[in-house]
């Protein structure tokens, strides 16, 4: 099982998470091609290497383009929740622009802002723009060409932030208008992080305890405590541990908090794992310590076990539209199903029907059962347990004459086999204008070299 560990020793923000994941070795060209599927204008993405405290990491900046509103309606020039520190007076940060909770409805305003974790640029301008609410952001994501998993994950993160802001400010969630989390750079941070997770093929995420600063910060409407209210609301009842460090500013941003809350299944020490790679996402503000987020990629140590017990959920359906059945399958996959498939069957009186089969682990069984009952016409579900034999699996990237592609590699003892990633092969075939079968042949040839030990995995 491919797992990822977030070491949040200096907090977490959206751009630090995206930078750390890219630093694991993701092909930036492939990443940006995926990000273009968001169909969002008004920004430029700058990805660079940065040396801090003798350690090299990846620095990501989302640079907003300055132009008239009618030229880029999605580019909202505002202070982000993780981009607010302009300067420090006697060690205390002074914020300008809007704090994430400052959701009044003034459309004409003047402000200047820099980015803290993503503070790679400064804007000084006066302009008029429209705010975004949760529905607006969800529409941008839904209308994109991103994968269903990236869409679902990104919308869930925005919903988390919106719910926290609504609670903090005593508003209905649909009446909260966002400046910070609706900005182009925040959308890119969240969607970009989801794209990285999908490219890496991560199956489970763990995190350290979270480390935040202390004291207070000054925002447009006054002084607020650290952790900032939206972060504290997301922490409430979550069971996520937090340590307050002797740093007089915010280290955990609302975007970072929402991301790690939705990614990590457990918080604490790094689980036993076979480490394959590590990466660093760099912050840009001086905190008096190493300001970065570290991620560690590897396989679970107990992955050597070749058998495991799984749960099989089955039900027969003879009165549903195929479109709705397809939607139900998508929801089940998004909720963590190991596999979902339909088998044509005949029921009494010769009626054609389908048998829905869902493979699950113990952690997601109840959630998947509820989805089956809600999204299908069935009145009951059969449940059995069984043991399956599994090969050890990992995802590697190989070079071909047409470009890079991911390959799923399975091993058991000295036996190895590989399977090209379909989406990568399709992308290469469409870009190069060649048959998909030819791409598969090229990828398998490179994969054979890796299996025989002649090619290093990327």
**Residue 160 has what pLDDT?**
94
Q: CB–CB of 4/295 below 8 Å? A: yes
Q: For 161, phi and psi rounded to 5 degrees?
A: -65, -45
Interval 345-350 mean pLDDT: 90
State the number of CA atoms in the 13 A half-sphere of 330 facing the CB. 13
pLDDT at residue 154 greater than cutoff 60: yes
Which domains are seen in the chain, by residue range? 2-300 (no CATH), 307-389 (3.30.70.1380), 393-451 (no CATH)
Q: pTM here?
A: 0.58
Q: Token digits for 82?
A: 């993780």
Q: CB–CB of 59/184 below 8 Å? A: no
pLDDT at residue 68 greater than cutoff 60: no
230-241 pLDDT, tens digit each? 999 999 999 999
Helices then strands, each counted (H, E), the chain:
11, 24
Q: CB–CB of 147/71 below 8 Å? A: no
Q: Token digits for 151?
A: 């869409």
Please, where are the H alpha helices in 173-321? Answer: 184-200, 229-235, 254-263
Which of 121-130, 198-207, 309-318 is predicted least confidently? 121-130
Give the burial class of 328: count Cβ atoms within 10 A of its Cβ; 0-12 exposed, 13-18 middle, 19 or more buried.
Answer: buried
Interval 343-362 mean pLDDT: 93
**Residue 300 has what pLDDT?**
81
Q: For 414, phi and psi rounded to 5 degrees?
A: -90, -5
* Cα-based torsion angle of the residue sequence 74, 78, 84, 89 in order, rounded to the nearest 10 degrees: 160
Report how far residue 11's alpha carbon sits from residue 412's, in angstroms, rounded to the nearest whole number. 39
pLDDT at residue 457 greater than cutoff 70: no
Other beta carbons within 10 angstroms of residue 91's beta carbon come to 10
Report how far residue 421's alpha carbon sits from residue 391's, in angstroms, rounded to the nearest whole number. 17
Percent of the chain with pLDDT over 90: 57
Establish whether the linkage from the previous residue to 154 is cis, with ω within 30° of 0. Answer: no
Q: Which helix (H) or strand (E) holds 266?
A: strand 264-267
Identify the CA nearest to 358 among candidates 402, 310, 317.
310
Report how far residue 230's alpha carbon sits from residue 364's, in angstroms, rounded to the nearest whole number. 28
Higher pLDDT among residues 339 and 91, named by residue: 339
Report how far residue 152's alpha carbon sits from residue 435's, in angstroms, rounded to the nearest whole number. 31
78-116 pLDDT, tens digit each? 233 333 333 332 232 332 223 333 333 333 332 333 333
Three-state DSSP class for residue 422: helix
**Residue 37 has what pLDDT?**
95
- The neighbouring-strand residues paired with 44 are 63
**Residue 31 has what pLDDT?**
95
Q: CB–CB of 10/185 below 8 Å? A: no
Residues ≥6 apart with Cβ < 8 Å to 89 = none
Q: For 412, phi and psi rounded to 5 degrees?
A: -150, 105
Report how far residue 145's alpha carbon sits from residue 192's, in angstroms, rounded to the nearest whole number. 14
Q: How confident is the model at residue 248 (pLDDT cuts 50, 70, 90)?
A: confident
**Residue 239 has what pLDDT?**
92
272-285 pLDDT, tens digit each? 888 999 999 999 88
Three-state DSSP class for residue 106: coil
Interval 298-312 mean pLDDT: 74
């Amino acid at each position: 099982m491919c797992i990822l560990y977030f070491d949040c020793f200096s907090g977490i923000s959206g751009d630090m998470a995206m930078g750390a994941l890219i630093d694991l070795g993701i092909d930036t060209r492939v990443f940006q091609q995926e990000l273009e599927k968001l169909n969002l204008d008004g920004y430029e993405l700058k990805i660079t290497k940065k040396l801090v405290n003798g350690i090299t990491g990846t620095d990501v900046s989302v640079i907003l383009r300055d132009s008239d509103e009618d030229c880029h309606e999605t580019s909202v020039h505002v202070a982000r929740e993780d981009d607010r520190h302009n300067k420090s007076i006697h060690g205390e940060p002074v914020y300008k622009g809007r704090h994430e909770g400052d959701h009044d409805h003034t459309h004409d305003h003047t402000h200047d802002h820099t980015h803290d974790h993503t503070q790679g640029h400064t804007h000084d301008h006066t302009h008029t723009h429209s705010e975004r609410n949760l529905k607006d952001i969800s529409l941008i994501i839904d209308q994109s060409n991103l994968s269903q998993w990236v869409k679902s994950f990104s919308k869930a993160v925005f919903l988390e932030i919106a719910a926290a802001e609504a609670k903090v400010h005593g508003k209905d969630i649909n009446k909260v208008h966002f400046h910070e989390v609706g900005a182009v750079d925040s959308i890119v941070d969240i969607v970009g992080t989801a794209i990285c997770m999908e490219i890496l093929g991560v199956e489970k995420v763990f995190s350290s305890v979270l480390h935040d600063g202390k004291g207070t910060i000054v925002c447009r409407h006054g002084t607020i405590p650290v952790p900032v209210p939206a972060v504290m609301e997301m922490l409430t009842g979550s069971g996520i541990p937090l340590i307050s460090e002797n740093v007089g500013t915010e280290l955990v941003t609302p975007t970072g908090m929402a991301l790690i809350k939705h990614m990590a299944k457990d918080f604490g020490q790094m689980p036993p794992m076979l480490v394959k790679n590590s990466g660093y996402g760099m912050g840009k503000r001086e905190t008096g310590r190493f300001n970065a987020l570290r991620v560690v990629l590897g396989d679970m140590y107990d992955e050597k076990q070749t058998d495991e017990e799984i749960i099989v959920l089955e039900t027969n359906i003879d009165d549903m539209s195929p479109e709705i059945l397809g939607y139900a399958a998508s929801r089940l996959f998004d909720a963590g199903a190991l596999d979902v498939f339909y088998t044509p069957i005949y029921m009494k009186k010769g009626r054609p029907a389908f048998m829905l089969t869902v493979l699950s682990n113990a952690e997601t069984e109840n959630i998947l059962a509820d989805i089956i009952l809600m999204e299908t016409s069935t009145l009951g579900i059969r449940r059995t347990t069984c043991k399956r034999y599994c090969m050890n699996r990992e995802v590697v990237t190989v070079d071909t004459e047409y470009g890079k592609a991911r390959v799923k590699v399975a091993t058991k003892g000295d036996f190895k086999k590989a399977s090209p990633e379909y989406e990568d092969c399709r992308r290469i075939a469409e870009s190069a204008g060649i048959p998909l079968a030819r791409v598969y042949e090229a990828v398998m040839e490179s994969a054979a070299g890796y299996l025989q030990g002649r090619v290093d995995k990327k």
